[in-house]
């Protein structure tokens, strides 16, 4: 399939609630996942919600990695969008899973930019 | 369905190539979409690629809006992730579509955080 990239939608359930509310830990985890998968980090934006929860994104040269956490449910949703073949989004997901733990998780994969040649 | 949020994956094809390479226009379009849908903007990160293409994200209190463009294919992929019921992601998508145009588009909707009560 001629796709420009892949979008992995990762859900983590049963995570440690303190971890999911620790913006510094989550920032380090996403940056480590980006670097560990060979991505080039271009920018980032993280935000701590009150009373709880963190949203964060790391823009990489190969697209982006986002996370949103709901500590009150032990739940986090991450999405990993990569284009090209240099960075494997599965590797990014593996590192995030290793750092955040959780009782279980799911990953949905969506191809991005399956182009109809008549439009390009 | 008891979901924490919704994730819309928007693909635009047949867009104007200059528009897709205009970081200032794309930044304004995403911010306008956020504000127009009643979202609260918390942060942003945009990047211009060489020779072409733009990646950008706007972090909103209700989650995020991202875009990645491939001007060489007239193609853009946006994802709109919202939690809660204040902001309708369909409204964000409508504003982005209105600003970017394109010959056709598709929207896939993914529910986020359909929690199993035994884990919360």
Q: For this structure, is A7 an active site residue? A: no
Could B113 and A9 be called an inter-chain contact, meaning their C-beta atoms sit closer than 8 Å? no
Of B43, B47, B113, which has the smallest distance from its Cβ to A47's Cβ?
B43
Asked, for residue A120, whether it belongs to a domain, the answer is: no
B41 near A CB under 8 A: no
Residue B118 predicted with pLDDT over 70: no
**Spatial distance between the Cα atoms of A13 and A104, rounded to a whole number of angstroms:** 5
For A13-42, the pLDDT digits (tens) are 999 999 999 999 999 999 999 999 999 999
Predicted ipTM of the assembly:
0.86
CATH number, domain at A28? 3.60.90.10
For B80-110, the pLDDT digits (tens) are 999 988 999 999 999 999 999 889 999 999 8
Asked, for residue A55, whether it belongs to a domain, the answer is: yes
Could A7 and B47 be called an inter-chain contact, meaning their C-beta atoms sit closer than 8 Å? no
Asked, for residue B119, whether it belongs to a domain, the answer is: no
pLDDT at B119: 44
pLDDT tier, B30 (very low <50, low <70, confident <90, very high otherwise): very high
Asked, for residue A103, whether it belongs to a domain, the answer is: yes
Number of domains comprising chain B: 1
Asked, for residue A93, whether it belongs to a domain, the answer is: yes
User: B80 — phi, psi (to 5°)?
Assistant: -125, 115
pLDDT at B67: 97
Could A68 and B83 be called an inter-chain contact, meaning their C-beta atoms sit closer than 8 Å? yes
Chain A residues closer than 8 Å to B51 by CB = none
Nearest CA-CA distance, residue A83 and chain B, Å: 10
**Spatial distance between the Cα atoms of B34 and A83, rounded to a whole number of angstroms:** 25
For A66-103, the pLDDT digits (tens) are 999 999 999 999 999 999 889 999 999 999 999 999 89
Q: Of A15, A63, A64, A105, which is the active-site residue?
A: A63
Q: Of A7, A15, A64, A68, which is the active-site residue?
A: A68
B18 near A CB under 8 A: no
pLDDT tier, A119 (very low <50, low <70, confident <90, very high otherwise): very low
In terms of residue numbers, what domain contains B47? 3-114
Q: Show Cβ contacts of residue A27 under 8 Å, excluding neighbours closer than 6 positions.
A: A44, A46, A56
B47 near A CB under 8 A: yes
Asked, for residue B11, whether it belongs to a domain, the answer is: yes
Asked, for residue A54, whether it belongs to a domain, the answer is: yes
pTM of model > 0.80:
yes
Mean of the pLDDT values across residues B42-59?
A: 94
Could B45 and A49 be called an inter-chain contact, meaning their C-beta atoms sit closer than 8 Å? no
Asked, for residue A87, whether it belongs to a domain, the answer is: yes
CA distances from B83 to B45, B106, B116 (A): 20, 21, 17
Residue A116 predicted with pLDDT over 90: no
Chain A residues closer than 8 Å to B57 by CB = 45, 57, 59, 64, 66
Beta bridge partners of residue A78, listed in sequence order: A10, A67
A49 near B CB under 8 A: yes
pLDDT at A1: 59
Of chain B, the percentage scoring pLDDT greater than 70 comes to 95
Give one DSSP letter per residue of chain B, joined into a string. Answer: --EEEEEEEEEEES--HHHHT-HHHHHHHHHHHHHHTT--EEEEEEEE-SSS-EEEEEEETTEEEEEEEEGGGTEEEEEEEEESSSS-HHHHHHHHHHHH--SEEEEEEEEEEE--GGG-
**Spatial distance between the Cα atoms of B55 and A9, rounded to a whole number of angstroms:** 18
Cis peptide before A51 (omega within 30 of 0): yes
Residue B6 predicted with pLDDT over 60: yes
């Amino acid at each position: 399939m001629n796709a420009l990239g892949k979008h992995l939608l990762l859900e983590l359930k049963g995570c440690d609630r303190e971890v999911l509310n620790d913006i510094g830990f989550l920032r380090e985890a996403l940056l480590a996942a980006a670097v560990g998968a060979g991505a080039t980090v271009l920018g980032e934006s993280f935000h701590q919600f009150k009373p709880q929860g963190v949203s964060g994104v790391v823009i990489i040269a190969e697209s982006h990695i986002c996370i949103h956490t709901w500590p009150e449910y032990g739940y986090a949703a991450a999405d990993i969008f990569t284009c090209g073949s240099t960075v494997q989004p599965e590797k990014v997901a593996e590192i995030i899973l290793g750092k955040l733990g959780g009782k279980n998780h799911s990953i949905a994969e969506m191809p991005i930019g399956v182009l109809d040649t008549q439009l390009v």
